[in-house]
Amino acid sequence: MKNLFYIFLFALLAFGLSQFLMRQNEKDIQDKTVTHLTLWNVPPKSLPLDRQIWEETVKEFETQNPNIKVEGVEREYQPEEFITVMAGGKGPDLVKVWVGAIQTLANLGFLDPVDTYIQNWSQRDFIKPVLLESTKVGTHFYGVPADTYFLFLLYRKDLFTAAGLNPETPPTTWDELANTAKTLTHREKGQYGLGLVPKTWYFQDFVWQAGGEMTRTENDKVHAAFDEPPGVQALRFWKDLCWKYKVLQPDVLMPENEILHLFALGKIAMTFGTENQLPALITRYKIDPQSFGIAPLPAGPAGKAAHLGGDVYVINATTSEEKKNAAWKWVEFDLSPANQLRKWLRMHELKMFVYPGAFSSATNIANQDEFKMVKDALETARVEPHVNGWPEVRDMLDESPLQEIFLDPDADPQQLLLSYAKEADRDIFSKVKVDR
């Protein structure tokens, strides 16, 4: 028994040592003429099809640019990881980050302005201006929109049919939304009409639909505008959804991913989400793509509005000039119409779920018939406010008033928004500097 233990221990040590030595060997193969480009966002091995497409893209890219070697890393942008590796000087040369994070990262000096690259870029004019604008911090552009998502109303067609509703006519106004959700709610069966997470990310669309704004910039000063009547109206509607119609998920503070689980399982009939969340649901729960529908957000009193966002390519400011150029070459290659079309074809060939969010909005792939929905949405789409201090205000709204309205039946929307707008102006907006 004791001997066995020692043999085991020895084997373990040998294993570790061999790994260590192997790594050292890997490092030695370095060639001066080749630029090594470190990329994040490589799809993990558990998604074999995505991985395959990614590897094909790399191969194609390396044949076109023989002096660039791509080194992929299976990592996604996570603030705590990113800030640490950047502080350690081991940041990736190129990474896709959520557009809402650009402000913070640019202010910390992590990102390289891409103005010079963008100026001569053939695809520039095809990118939706509002999206490109959202990558601007101060006077510089810091990122290139790589893919796009739109906020949609996702709904279960099977549940609609079961409740006697027409699955092809999803709700188009706030009232319809509330009433449809009420019809679809069967608490005793554990079925709920609407999944709504109390977050600014969803709330701002309702404010826009009511004709309001989240922030306003006047005389070079930003101030919170969500306490104006449209904002109050939107919050009042949320309050009604929760307390008057009682159509929301049972645990009102449920995070998005769990809402999506429940949606995929048919426990929640409607929710707000982006279409790029769907493929994962389809593969994980093995559900029929035909069983759910995608519809534009219902119109509010002031008409339709929905926000779009997406991931943007950002270039590390701390790497060498040649790596930056190589990174830009990758961006150009990845977003070129040829590559996007190839990706579209391959996704069809591999029988993957094809969704518009996987492609750059700079190409006319989005004009395909199957993406008609997106094309409509593009017309009314808006982006999140991108002023300094907004991330803090967003967090503040997420954590207090929006939760309170779902938790406290006696909360007064107007009072709440007024007090928090005052706090946002006093504590956050008055302290940040205004760029334009």
Which residue of 3, 25, 33, 46 would you call a contact of another protein, by CB under 8 A? 46
- Output the smallest distance, CB 50 to another protein, in A: 12
Which residue of 36, 59, 221, 284 would you call a contact of another protein, by CB under 8 A? 284
Q: By CB under 8 A, is residue 33 in contact with another protein?
A: no
Q: By CB under 8 A, is residue 2 in contact with another protein?
A: no
Backbone phi, psi, residue 70, to 5°: -90, 130
Q: By CB under 8 A, is residue 23 in contact with another protein?
A: yes
**Sheet containing strand 35-39, strands side by side:** 68-72, 35-39, 94-98, 311-315, 144-145
Which residue of 253, 338, 345, 350 would you call a contact of another protein, by CB under 8 A? 253
Count Cα neighbours of 387 within 13 Å in the Cβ-side half-sphere. 22
**Going residue by residue from 309 to 338, which x/- string records binding to another protein, judged by CB under 8 A?**
--------xx--------------------
Which residue of 2, 32, 45, 351 would you call a contact of another protein, by CB under 8 A? 45
Which residue of 2, 20, 30, 349 would you call a contact of another protein, by CB under 8 A? 20
| Rounded CA separation 411/274 (Å) | 30
Q: By CB under 8 A, is residue 257 in contact with another protein?
A: yes
**Going residue by residue from 386 to 415, which x/- string records binding to another protein, judged by CB under 8 A?**
-----xx--x---xx--xx--x--------
Query: Is the Cβ of residue 229 or residue 255 nearer to another protein in the bound state?
Result: 255
Q: Which stretch binds another protein (CB under 8 A): 176-184, 227-235, 264-272, 333-341?
A: 264-272
Which residue of 7, 265, 338, 345 would you call a contact of another protein, by CB under 8 A? 265
Q: By CB under 8 A, is residue 345 in contact with another protein?
A: no
Query: Is the Cβ of residue 109 or residue 303 nearer to another protein in the bound state?
Result: 109
CB atoms within 10 A of CB 55: 14
| Rounded CA separation 52/138 (Å) | 39
Q: Which stretch binds another protein (CB under 8 A): 40-48, 134-142, 143-151, 339-347?
A: 40-48
Query: Is the Cβ of residue 81 or residue 376 nearer to another protein in the bound state?
Result: 81
**Going residue by residue from 413 to 432, which x/- string records binding to another protein, judged by CB under 8 A?**
--------------------
| Rounded CA separation 350/352 (Å) | 6
- Output the smallest distance, CB 426 to another protein, in A: 13
Q: By CB under 8 A, is residue 251 in contact with another protein?
A: yes
Question: Between residue 83 and residue 142, which ones bind another protein under the rule CB under 8 A?
Answer: 83-90, 104, 108-110
| Rounded CA separation 383/355 (Å) | 20
Which residue of 81, 133, 322, 370 would you call a contact of another protein, by CB under 8 A? 81
Which residue of 111, 178, 232, 260 would you call a contact of another protein, by CB under 8 A? 260
- Output the smallest distance, CB 23 to another protein, in A: 6
**Going residue by residue from 177 to 196, which x/- string records binding to another protein, judged by CB under 8 A?**
-----------xxx-x----
Query: Is the Cβ of residue 84 or residue 367 nearer to another protein in the bound state?
Result: 84
Residues near another protein (CB under 8 A): 9, 12-13, 15-16, 19-20, 23, 44-46, 73-75, 79-81, 83-90, 104, 108-110, 188-190, 192, 249-253, 255, 257, 260-262, 264-267, 280, 284-285, 317-318, 391-392, 395, 399-400, 403-404, 407
